[in-house]
Structure 1
Amino acid sequence: MLKAEYQARGPVPQDVIDAVPLELPPITAGQALVRVLAAPINPSDVLTLTGEYGMLPPLPAIGGNEGVGEVLEVAADVTGLEPGQTVLLPVGCGTWRTHLIAEAQQLIPLPSADPKQLAMLTVNPPTAYLMLREFVDLQPGDWVIQNAANSGVGSYLIQLAKIRGLKTLNVVRRESAVAAVEAEGGDRVLVDGPDLPRRVREATGGAPVKLGIDAVGGASTDHLAACLSEGGVLVNYGRMSGEPCQVGVSSLVFRDVTLKGFWLARWFRQASPQQQKQLFGELIQLIASGQLKARIAATYDISQIKDAVAAAAAGARDGKILLVP
């Protein structure tokens, strides 16, 4: 048994984490022993290793915030869960390991489906789903613009928008990313630049764009804001550029564009159990049925954690990095 543990944080994320032996005690009442099947490496995981994320666990810590596993053993008093079941792991439990012990009531049974796709259920799909629904009342045929369209969230947003009959303008930072986003079903794919608003008007025929989704920050935020129609809402959920959001006066003052932030952890803290159940219920069915999926760039074993984190932190990749113990 292995775990990917870090005892410090630093600017080079792969330098602070190591695969070390894992020892687990016998399970006790109410618990289950789970073998981890797959766990992704998200941008937030990389920022946690560098110390730049908004919520940092105490050290030492095991990496990983989401994943799926197979139940190996349950305590005698546990009902509704049995060995062999695939389960969603508790959020933030440190999923970069081969095995873990969890409270049985925190494990959500999952339908039979590709565990690698199910492993990415907890973070990126809810982020895309909620940003499409929480800020603007969009109707079929409406346009949405997003940058970082080749990211995990970007891919899910394209698919969820298409399911709802929405049309997407997808902005990327390099020409080499265009083909993959087009293959995902993006209605229009554009490379970022100062002239983005003009190209967006040409692509939409001048139709209003009510919602923008920004993961980059810096000048890219301003480019998206300038593409929005009067009264549009721009939602930021990341800063891939490492720079603060910039929005020009012409957007804020003369066109009444609003800039808002979205953090999934805050939504979970404020949402009722019923809201969370409804969210996951819909997403689980979409993933299990194959209607919602993400590209996977590469998979790694826990013993390869340094290489895996380095690959996840690299900018030019096509798809998610997964740990598959």
Structure 2
Amino acid sequence: MRSVVFSRHGPASRVVALTGRPRPRPGAGEVLVRVRARPVNPSDELYVEGRYGRRPALPAVPGFEGVGTVEETTTGSPAVGQRVAVSAQGTWQEYVVVPEADLIPVPDRLPDHVACQLTVNPLTALLLTRRLALRAGDWLLITAAGSALSRMVLHLVRRDDVRCVCVVRDDRHDDLTRAGASAVVNAATDDVVGRVREVTGGEGVHAVLDAVGGEPGSTALRCLRSGGQAVVLGMLDGGTIGVTPHALVFSDLTIRGFWLPYHLSRQSPEVRAELAERAIDLLSAPGFAAPVAATYDLDDVAAALDHVHRPGRHGKVILTG
């Protein structure tokens, strides 16, 4: 089978290569899935770079989600031929072996380019919004607001009448206002803290959702009001977030991290099933799933990774085959 493999850490476009590997066989309680599509997510690149929460034994295959069909099963369910979303390590290859509990049957109404995005961003957005527990009228600041995940969070919190400040790096995101953002701030040209104080009546935001870190993340934290909370879920900048003990103590700030595998592992099977059902319903609605910027075959993985970093990209890059 074709597999995308890396044998050393570094920028994904430079260290991954397509190779042939034996097709795996499922063991007890496992299912063999023929993967048809998988998105390129930021966590995939962190994994290749050696900056993810899991350190792989090299050589390794990237990818944490995808969609495909059951080819072989030792459990009897799902049945052979059933279309499923996969939550597994190593989806950037044609076949993957997955525990039966980590599969989600996919309805026909979700095409592959949508269903392959089921198990990471939608579940993250649902758990994040529950963790933030914001109320109508509260203010939320979202960094990297043009990302697929941030747009999903915006969609969910606007249903609860939470007001959002979306921080971006350029002026290509007018659609965020149409999607419900109360303010869109361009960090490349605007005074982020000053603009946030202006739109919140001088109070600051109740919560920050930061996927960037570094100086952008530090700036976002300075936008919090007293008693505010921040959830850090990414490290796109790679730098350290700065917050003083003075701010933590006298402004009563709460700062927490969020990693999807950890939080999913703490949910009961019933809650995980409810989250999956909710994610399918959301992805079935117009405007929730990320649009597709481009589709590449596994053979063209280097071009796909270059496309991910192309200026002006809007939407997910999908690997097929």
TM normalised by structure 1 equals 0.88
The answer to whether the aligner puts 1:217 opposite 2:222 as a matched pair is no
Aligned length: 319
Determine if contact 1:225/1:251 at 8 Å carries over to the other structure: no
Partner of 2:3: 3
User: Which residue, out of 141, 148, 163, partners 1:145?
Assistant: 141
Q: Closer, same or farther in 2 for the Cα pair 1:283/1:164, shift >3 Å?
A: farther
1:1-325 correspondence runs (5 A) = 1-10=1-10, 12-24=11-23, 32-71=31-70, 73-75=71-73, 78-92=75-89, 94-112=90-108, 113-134=110-131, 136-176=132-172, 178-192=173-187, 195-206=191-202, 209-248=205-244, 251-290=247-286, 292-313=288-309, 316-325=312-321
**2:141–2:220 Cα contact (<8 Å) kept:** yes
Gaps of 5+ in 2: none
What is the SS of the residue equivalent to 2:177? helix
User: Displacement, 1:262?
Assistant: 1.2
- Deviation at residue 221 of structure 1 after TM alignment: 2.1
Q: Could you say if the C-alpha distance between residues 252 and 26 of structure 1 is closer, same or farther in structure 2, counting changes exceeding 3 Å? A: closer
Distance 1:223 1:27 in 2: 48
Q: Structure 2: which amino acid aligns with 1:145? A: L
> 1:315, CA displacement in angstroms?
6.3
Amino acid of the structure 2 residue aligned with 1:121:
L
What is the aligned-residue RMSD (CA, Å)? 2.5
Q: Contact 1:158 / 1:185 at 8 angstroms: preserved in 2?
A: yes
Displacement of 1:219 after TM fit? Answer: 2.1
Distance 1:126 1:241 in 2: 23
CA offsets per residue over residues 247-267 of structure 1, 9 Å max, x none?
A: 256643442222221111221
Residue 103 to residue 130, structure 1, CA distance change in 2 (3 Å): closer
Amino acid of the structure 1 residue aligned with 2:82: Q
Distance 1:314 1:59 in 2: 28
| Distance in 1 (alpha carbons) for counterparts of 2:211 and 2:202 | 24
The structure with higher relative contact order (CA 8 Å, sep 6+) is: 1
Offset of residue 217 of structure 1:
1.4
Instruction: Work out the percentage of aligned pairs sharing the same amino acid.
Output: 34
Distance (Å, rounded) in 2 between the aligned partners of 1:190 and 1:264: 27
**8 A Cα contact 1:297 1:318, kept in partner:** yes
> 1:109: Cα distance to partner?
0.9
Q: Could you tell which deviates more after superposition, 214-223 or 59-68? A: 214-223
For normalisation by structure 2, the TM-score amounts to: 0.89
